[in-house]
Copies of this chain bind each other. A is one copy, B any other.
Amino acid sequence: MLDQIDVKILRQLQANGRLSNQDLADQVALSPSACLRRVKTLEQEGYIDGYHALLNAPKLGYRVEAFVQVRIDQSNDDWHDQFIATIADLDEIADAYIITGNANYLLRIRARDFEHFSTFIIHTLNRIAGVRDIQSNMVMQNLKNNGKLLPLPNSVPK
């Protein structure tokens, strides 16, 4: 179970993944060794999945972002497995979800420009076996990103 200090630690590391253990210890009012032990435990128990640098997509040449809904022909089970295996290797696909509703999959796509995007849709996505219908929604503006998980309002984590 998480206590209030654990939640503080998670919140701090979420905001700044490179916080030194000493600074972290100061912020949660613990000695460095006690703080480090808690962090290691949180990592081992799976509360922290990893640490990552957040790169700036436009700066790196990715100026197009879009959400694409894909329907596949459900009369064939193999196509589902094949689809999942295929998208794992496609760099243009940032995120992928199985969703309820009319479509089977929701994909978040990142591409260099619109030409790159349309080529990807027509010549890559559209040619995966079983793909029936593709509906694209371009991102015009990114209002909020990766909203913080904590504070957990009234939540009682298992």
Could you list which residues of chain A lie within 8 angstroms of chain B, going by C-beta atoms? 10, 13-18, 45-57, 59-62, 65, 67, 84, 87-88, 91, 93-101, 103, 105-106, 110, 112, 137-153, 155-158
CA separation between A93 and B62, bound complex, in Å?
24
Among residues of B, the one whose C-beta sits closest to the C-beta of A91 is: B153
A92 CB, nearest partner CB in chain B, Å: 8
A17 and B149 within 8 A (CB)? no
User: Across the interface, do A93 and B141 meet the contact criterion of CB distance under 8 Å?
Assistant: no
Instruction: Check B57 against A149 for contact (C-beta < 8 Å).
Output: yes
**With A and B bound together, what is the CA distance between A48 and B60 in angstroms?**
10
Find A67's partner among B99, B140, B141 (CB 8 Å cutoff).
B99
Partner of A14, one of B55, B61, B137: B55
Query: A46 contacts B52, CB within 8 Å?
Result: no
